[in-house]
Amino acid sequence: MGFHMIDMDTWERREHYHYYRNIIKTRYNLNAEIDITNLLKQVKEKELRFYPVFVYILIRAVNDTKELRMSLDSDGHLGYWDLCHPSYTIFHDDDKTFSDIWTEYSEDFSVFYKRAVSDMEMYKNVKGIKAKPDTPPNFCPISCVPWLTFTGYGSDTYAESNMFYPVILFGKYHESDGRFLLPLGISVNHAVADGYHTCSFFQKVQSEASLITL
């Protein structure tokens, strides 16, 4: 788990960082539909669970986008992690609450999928916000609302400028003209990432969903 400090003397976004961290503290939200036609076909053919499959695609795109892995170290220095692990929600149908669990990331899909399914089974009956203990500092929150095909998502989360990780949400997929589309939203701290970086994230998610072989 490596953490790399940003050199503020040479960083090309140093003025943007100070502006959106100290003058106008801004988080912004972007939404797009992801074509999951090819992905869904493979999931059904191989009898996989869609949720951990898509969590893998999302965290893979995060780990390919340095600006979405930004954080502060224990001394308050800005930097970025080598990689992030997904912290994602599981739903308790009996009392309609949810809990967060996390899974250790692996670039190898089969390894990650087995870990995620194991975590989901192990903690499915554990209640409370944090069902799985010891969430690592290099995590990225991911959530799902499988009951709704939304067209917009906004997050007004405010945490005194130190919350640099993105918040990712996806919803219920739907069919349109023979294609299956899934709504995806992300909330980003403008101090560490601009529209270009966030759009690049969406493009990477779409590419993975279209080209991945499970």
Q: Give the pLDDT of residue 4.
A: 97
In a domain, 79, yes or no: yes
In a domain, 3, yes or no: no
Q: Determine which one of 4, 85, 92, 190 is catalytic.
A: 190
Across-strand partners of 78? 72
Q: Give the pLDDT of residue 157.
A: 60
Rounded Cα–Cα distance for residues 207 and 210 (Å) = 5
Q: What angle do CA 87, 88, 91 make, to 5 degrees?
A: 145
Q: Give the pLDDT of residue 155.
A: 74
Total tally of structural domains belonging to the chain: 1
- 163 band by pLDDT with thresholds 50, 70 and 90: confident
In a domain, 16, yes or no: no
In a domain, 23, yes or no: no
Rg (CA), the chain: 17
Q: What is the pLDDT of residues 2-42, one digit of tens each?
A: 999 999 999 999 999 999 999 998 899 999 999 999 999 99
Q: What is the pLDDT of residues 111-134, one digit of tens each?
A: 999 999 999 999 999 999 999 999
Site of tokens 């003209």: 177
For 45-134, strand residue ranges (E) read 70-72, 78-81, 85-92, 97-102
Site of tokens 């640099």: 164
The set of residues, in sequence order, having a beta carbon less than 8 Å from that of 45 and lying 6+ positions away, is none
In a domain, 2, yes or no: no
For 40-59, what is the mean pLDDT? Answer: 98
Residue 94: which CATH number? 3.30.559.10
Q: What is the pLDDT of residues 73-106, one digit of tens each?
A: 989 999 999 999 999 999 999 999 999 999 999 9
40, 107, 143, 155, 169 from 36: Cα distances, Å: 6, 20, 17, 24, 15
Is residue 174 annotated as part of the catalytic site, yes or no?
A: no
Q: By residue range, what is the domain housing residue 56?
A: 29-193+204-211
CA 203 to chain CA mean position, Å? 14
Q: Give the pLDDT of residue 158.
A: 59
In a domain, 15, yes or no: no
